[in-house]
Amino acid sequence: MRQTYIQIRLSALQHNLTCVKNFAKKSKVLAMVKANAYGHGAVECLPALSQADALGVACLTEAIPLQTAGWQKPIVLMEGAFSLAEWQYAYQHQMQCVVHHQTQVEWALSDIPQQNNPIVWLKFNTGMNRLGFNQTEIFDIAKQLFNKGYSLILTSHFANADNIAHPLNQTQIQLFHDTLNLLKSQISSTIQGSLCNSAGIVNWQTCHYDWVRSGIMLYGSSPVTHQTASDIGLKPVMTFSASIMAIHQLNAGESVGYGSRWQAKQPCKIGIVSVGYGDGYPRVIHENAYMQTEQGERLPIIGRVAMDMLMVDISHAVHVDIGTTVQLWGDMPTIDEVASWNDTISYELLCLVTNRPTWQYR
C-alpha cells in the first residue's frame, strides 16, 4: 500500500483550545470549524472541541452534519442564511445566524423564531469592507431586531489583525468599541460583542468582549506575524508524512523531474517520495524546502513536485533507506514554514489536503 499519511492529533487540538481559553479567560469561545475544520475533518474533531461554547461554520450545509453527529451546543452560520427556508430551518434546529445584509434583516423581521430570545449575530463593517452594515445603518437595524425580540451579538472582523502595527486595527477597535457602547446605552445593556479572531485573541487581549472566534490557532498554526506557533504555546494538529519509495544515484550534470529543473553539481544520491500535489502538497515550492526524517535529518526537496511523487537529496543522510518515513509538515517543518516556501498561508495548505493519503485520528 502507498505509504502516505495524514495524522490528526486530537490531543493537540484539545490542547490548543485550552490555550485559546487561557488567552480569553472571561470570554466564551466560538470554535471555527468551517471548511471541514480547516481541512482536518469537522465531525471527527468534535470530541476534542467539547469544551468550546459554540461552533462556527460558513453555511447551513456545514452545520447539519455536526448536529447529526451529536453536537448539542449552538452552531453559528457565519455567512448567515441564503434563503428564507434556510433561515427557518436554522432557527427551528436551534442554530444561530449572522445577519449582514438587508434581505436577511427582512427574513428576521418577518419570520421570528418561536423561542425565547433568539440570538442574532449582527455584522458590523468596521473596515474589512466585505460583509456587514456600516456605521450609519447599524443602530436602526439593531433597534428593529431587538424590538422584535432578538438578543443581539454585535460582531465584526479585523482586516489586518495578524500585523499588530497596521494602523487600521486601532481604527476598527475604536469604532467597534464606540458603537457597542452606543447600542448598550441606547437600546439594551444585554447586547454582547465579538471582535477577535485568532490573531485578535493573541494581539488584543483587552478587546475580547463576550465572544472570541478561534480559527487557525486551534489547528496549531500561528495567527500572527511576530510570533511562531510554538511561541504562543500551540501544537500542530495535522502531521503529513510519506515514505521513500525508491533511491537512485545521479552523476554530475544529470537532472531529475519535469522540466529538468534541478541538476546535480556533483555525484549524489536521491530519494523518491510517494507524495505529490495529488495528495495536497504544493507544486510550487522554494529551493530552501525540506522534509525531515524521524531521526531529525533534513532532506532538501529537489526538482519539480509531481502529482504522485517528489524528490529529495539524501546524499548526506545516514538513516535513509527505501521505506523510511519523512515528515512533510507537522512538528518539523511546521505548516507555517511550508506555507512560506510556497508564498501562501497555512490556511490554504490545510484546506487543500486531499482524501488520497490514509487518514488517521488519534
* Active-site annotation holds for 265: no
Say if CB 162 and CB 201 are below 8 A apart.
no
- Local structure of residue 31 (DSSP, 8 states): E
Give the separation between CA 212 and CA 201, rounded to whole angstroms.
Answer: 7
Q: From the centroid of its chain, how far is CA 115? A: 32
What grid cell was written down for 350? 490545510
Give me the catalytic one of 148, 209, 219, 258.
258
Give me the catalytic one of 28, 34, 123, 235.
34
Give the separation between CA 281 and CA 20, rounded to whole angstroms.
Answer: 28
Query: What is the bridge-based pairing of β-strands 28-32 and 54-57?
Result: parallel
Estimate the crossing angle of helix 135-147 against helix 102-110, to 10 degrees: 10
3-state SS, one letter per residue, for 255-291? EECHHHCEECCCCEEEEEECCCCCCCCCCCCCCCCEE
Amino acid at 139: F
Strands (E) across the chain are located at 4-8, 28-32, 54-57, 75-77, 96-99, 119-123, 151-155, 192-194, 211-214, 238-250, 255-256, 262-263, 268-273, 290-293, 298-302, 310-313, 325-329, 358-361
- In the block, cell 472541541 appears at 49
Amino acid at 301: I
* Active-site annotation holds for 26: no
Give the separation between CA 242 and CA 324, rounded to whole angstroms.
Answer: 8
- Local structure of residue 36 (DSSP, 8 states): H
Residue 360: strand pairing partners? 7
Say if CB 7 and CB 238 are below 8 A apart.
yes
Phi, psi dihedral angles at 299 (to 5 degrees): -115, 110
Alpha helices in 69-186 (DSSP H): 84-92, 102-110, 135-147, 167-186
| Catalytically annotated residues | 34, 258
